[in-house]
Chain A
Amino acid sequence: MAGKVNASASGEDSPTSRPSTTFVPVSRVQVFEPHRASLPPIGAYMREFWARKRFSLELARFADKAEYLDSNLGKVWLVLNPLLLAFVYFLLVTVLRGGSDKASGFTTLAHILIGLFTFYFAQNVISDGAQSITQGGRLILNQAFPRTLLPLSSAIRSFWQYLPTIPVYVTVVILGKIFIPKADIHIFSWALLWIPYVTLCLAVTAFGMALIFATMNVYFRDTSKLLSYTTRIWLYGSPVLWLPEMLHGWHRIILYLNPLGPALSATSEIWIRGHAPTLAQLIGLLAWAIVAMFFGGYFFISRERDFAVRI
């Protein structure tokens, strides 16, 4: 490694002249070179990403802590909000349908409930992730680290917020089954073993989309505002307020064109019917996760360099 110091530029008494000091061993050498096709060396990038994953975790933990610092009821709202919304939508849907018998009404409520909880998980990953770069300004200007860690932190936090909604759903359904034994809901079944796969694919899909919107938000600051309307329309277009089986024939393609469609259909299939997801749903889940991660990852990482000058 050692070699001769090259006097690099003109000028007397250049900074290259060496002071007399004791050298300490230094741990690492880093080389920064222009990115090829706008992408940093992916291997090194992934290693850094993995090495600093703890930062994402702690950032999520501290963001939670900061938000609920002055409010004991804060976290309760995380569950209460979708619960009340589910009730509002349930009323809306049953009124629009002109009422129905108790059992099928309760099944609809359960479908809306688990659908909304799942949808909100994906929505939070996307919308919080979308703002993570523009809100991380000082951090981005001060330190070099893979910027994907910031939306990852939002995704982790959204997952933590999603977790308590599952026992809420289970409690509501158990209570419902006690009062309406005819309700056609298979709450505990072997199909539940598919939930980790479905949730992972959904999380990766949402994270990939968060990367796209986070990048757009750096360039166009109204992206996150627009996103709040987009996700609302997205909700109406997803099988949350309506059942996947309402679509027949080629119309079912709508379920698969929607990045969250396979996940939401599979969730309803598992939680309500107690069936394992269909092959089409499993493939759809994986396909959207790969597509979103690939395009989102490329879009984000290839523009990461710009963040420091555009924040």
Chain B
Amino acid sequence: MLIDMPDDLAVRIEDLSITYKINVDTKKTLKNAVMRASKGEKVRMRTVEAVKHMNLDIPHGSVLGIVGANGAGKSTLMRSIAGILPPSEGRITVNGKISTLLALGVGFNPALSGRDNIILGGLASGLTKDEIADKTDEIARFADLPDGFIDMPVRTYSSGMYGRVAFAVAVAMTPDILLLDEALSAGDAAFKEKSFLRMRELVQEARTIVIVSHALQTVKDLCTHAIWMHKGEILAKGEAGAITEKYLEFLQVGTLPSNLEDF
């Protein structure tokens, strides 16, 4: 199949719309559905138009920040780029291997060791067991895990360790396109600096990063470009600093330092 995609683009989004239905009943049970049906009522559903007719090109080697209020459709957009949530309309073309950190945590099973969870995560993302096994020690080192912790059950990890491992796994998979959702708030200042450095290295290798973050300073520091999403649409796009300023203005909070701080 021929794909009309310029090869300097990592992601091309054309007229993308994503809608889905959610059950707004508090009790999502069969019992509730049967009770409602017996009264002649239907299960209450709501259609969410999370992304509306969006167009966007993301070139290789760029770092794109996505800002916007809760419910703007940022996470939905990320999931659709990752192929987790296919479009309702339009098309997304992705040129390269994707690694995601869209929900915090490596994992699957808190009773299993970090190493086991990492192997499972890698297999789910399509790597072979050997490929992942080679990387687990590197991941442990990058995540600053104390000696031996990689072979301890994940339930014994602190939340900081958990977040650091999750990030380390995402970057260790040598993705062409890295999708991160709020992940930067994991870890302390030193780890944040380390993760910034790693991301800059990835970009130097012409890999592409898309970050959803409420930490505007992070977007400003790290991203080359940004888009501001609002109710499923792009309100503005351009240079990261300019967009974060505009977004702040919209929030009517001016430039209060507390709002520029990372979480």
Q: Known contacts A9-B234, A12-B238, A15-B57; is A66 also within 8 Å of B112 by CB?
A: yes
Q: CA of A21 to CA of B100 in the docked complex: distance in angstroms? A: 23
Q: Are A28 and B97 in contact (CB under 8 A)?
A: yes
- Report A-chain residues with C-beta under 8 Å of the C-beta of B97: 26-28
**Size bracket of the B interface:** 35 or more
Q: Which of A26, A52, A140 contacts B126 (CB 8 A)?
A: A52
- Report A-chain residues with C-beta under 8 Å of the C-beta of B96: 26-28
Q: Known contacts A1-B7, A24-B206, A143-B100; is A52 also within 8 Å of B124 by CB?
A: yes
A sample of 12 inter-chain contacts (CB < 8 A) reads: A5-B8, A8-B57, A14-B57, A16-B59, A24-B60, A26-B60, A29-B5, A29-B95, A33-B87, A62-B112, A66-B112, A309-B20
From A6, A7, A62, A63, residue with most partner B Cβ within 10 Å:
A62
> 16 other contacts beyond A31-B3, A65-B116, A305-B86, with CB at 8 A cut-off?
A1-B3, A8-B13, A12-B238, A19-B61, A23-B61, A24-B60, A34-B90, A67-B111, A140-B84, A142-B102, A143-B82, A143-B121, A143-B125, A144-B82, A220-B30, A222-B31
Task: Please list the residues of chain B having a beta carbon within 8 angstroms of any beta carbon in chain A.
Answer: 2-10, 12-14, 20-23, 28-33, 48, 55-62, 64, 79-80, 82-98, 100-103, 105, 107-109, 111-112, 116, 119-121, 123-126, 128-129, 153, 176, 203-207, 224-225, 227, 234, 236-239, 242
Q: CA of A140 to CA of B30 in the docked complex: distance in angstroms? A: 23
Q: CA of A5 to CA of B59 in the docked complex: distance in angstroms? A: 9
Residue of chain B at shortest CB distance from A220: B30
Interface residues of A in 16-55 (CB under 8 A from B): 16-19, 21-24, 26-35, 40, 51-52, 54-55
Q: Which of A15, A19, A222 contacts B30 (CB 8 A)?
A: A222
Q: Are B31 and A139 in contact (CB under 8 A)?
A: no
Q: Which of B5, B205, B236 contacts A1 (CB 8 A)?
A: B5
Q: How far is the CB of A152 from chain B (nearest CB, A)?
A: 13
Check A97 for interface membership: any CB of B closer than 8 A.
no
Q: Are B87 and A34 in contact (CB under 8 A)?
A: yes
Q: CA of A12 to CA of B243 in the docked complex: distance in angstroms? A: 11
Residue of chain A at shortest CB distance from B108: A139
- Report B-chain residues with C-beta under 8 Å of the C-beta of A27: 96-97, 176
Q: Which of B6, B82, B91, B92 contacts A3 (CB 8 A)?
A: B6
Q: Are A32 and B87 in contact (CB under 8 A)?
A: yes
- Report A-chain residues with C-beta under 8 Å of the C-beta of B121: 139, 143
| Residues of A within 8 A of B (CB-CB), count | 67
Q: Are B89 and A142 in contact (CB under 8 A)?
A: no
Q: CA of A32 to CA of B150 in the docked complex: distance in angstroms? A: 36
Q: How far is the CB of B98 from chain A (nearest CB, A)?
A: 8
User: SS class of chain A's interface: helix, strand, loop or mixed?
Assistant: loop
Q: Are B56 and A8 in contact (CB under 8 A)?
A: yes
Check A291 for interface membership: any CB of B closer than 8 A.
no
Instruction: Flag A298-311 by CB within 8 Å of B: 1 or 0 each.
Output: 00000001101110
Q: Are A26 and B123 in contact (CB under 8 A)?
A: no
Interface residues of A in 95-135 (CB under 8 A from B): none
Q: Are A32 and B80 in contact (CB under 8 A)?
A: yes
- Report B-chain residues with C-beta under 8 Å of the C-beta of A222: 29-31
Q: Which of B12, B21, B88, B238 contacts A11 (CB 8 A)?
A: B238
Q: Are A219 and B23 in contact (CB under 8 A)?
A: yes
Q: Are B84 and A141 in contact (CB under 8 A)?
A: yes
Q: Are B84 and A143 in contact (CB under 8 A)?
A: yes
Q: How far is the CB of B136 from chain A (nearest CB, A)?
A: 14
Q: How far is the CB of A276 from chain B (nearest CB, A)?
A: 40
- Report B-chain residues with C-beta under 8 Å of the C-beta of A308: 79, 84-85
From B4, B6, B98, B205, residue with most partner A Cβ within 10 Å:
B6
- Report B-chain residues with C-beta under 8 Å of the C-beta of A223: 30
Q: Are A309 and B83 in contact (CB under 8 A)?
A: no
Check A59 for interface membership: any CB of B closer than 8 A.
yes
Q: CA of A55 to CA of B127 in the docked complex: distance in angstroms? A: 9
- Report B-chain residues with C-beta under 8 Å of the C-beta of A9: 55-56, 234, 237
Q: CA of A145 to CA of B124 in the docked complex: distance in angstroms? A: 7
Q: Are B80 and A14 in contact (CB under 8 A)?
A: no
Q: Which of B5, B33, B101, B207 contacts A220 (CB 8 A)?
A: B33
Residue of chain B at shortest CB distance from A2: B7
Q: Known contacts A13-B225, A30-B93, A32-B80; is A62 also within 8 Å of B109 by CB?
A: yes
Check A178 for interface membership: any CB of B closer than 8 A.
no
Q: CA of A226 to CA of B31 in the docked complex: distance in angstroms? A: 10
Check A4 for interface membership: any CB of B closer than 8 A.
yes
Q: Are A30 and B94 in contact (CB under 8 A)?
A: yes
- Report B-chain residues with C-beta under 8 Å of the C-beta of A58: 119-120, 123, 129
Q: CA of A305 to CA of B8 in the docked complex: distance in angstroms? A: 29
From A34, A54, A65, A69, residue with most partner B Cβ within 10 Å:
A34
Q: Known contacts A13-B225, A141-B84; is A8 also within 8 Å of B107 by CB?
A: no
Q: Are A59 and B7 in contact (CB under 8 A)?
A: no
Q: Known contacts A15-B62, A142-B102, A220-B33; is A54 also within 8 Å of B129 by CB?
A: yes
- Report A-chain residues with C-beta under 8 Å of the C-beta of B88: 34
Q: How far is the CB of B224 from chain A (nearest CB, A)?
A: 6
Q: CA of A29 to CA of B95 in the docked complex: distance in angstroms? A: 4
Q: CA of A219 to CA of B58 in the docked complex: distance in angstroms? A: 35
Q: CA of A188 to CA of B221 in the docked complex: distance in angstroms? A: 74
Q: How far is the CB of A302 from chain B (nearest CB, A)?
A: 12
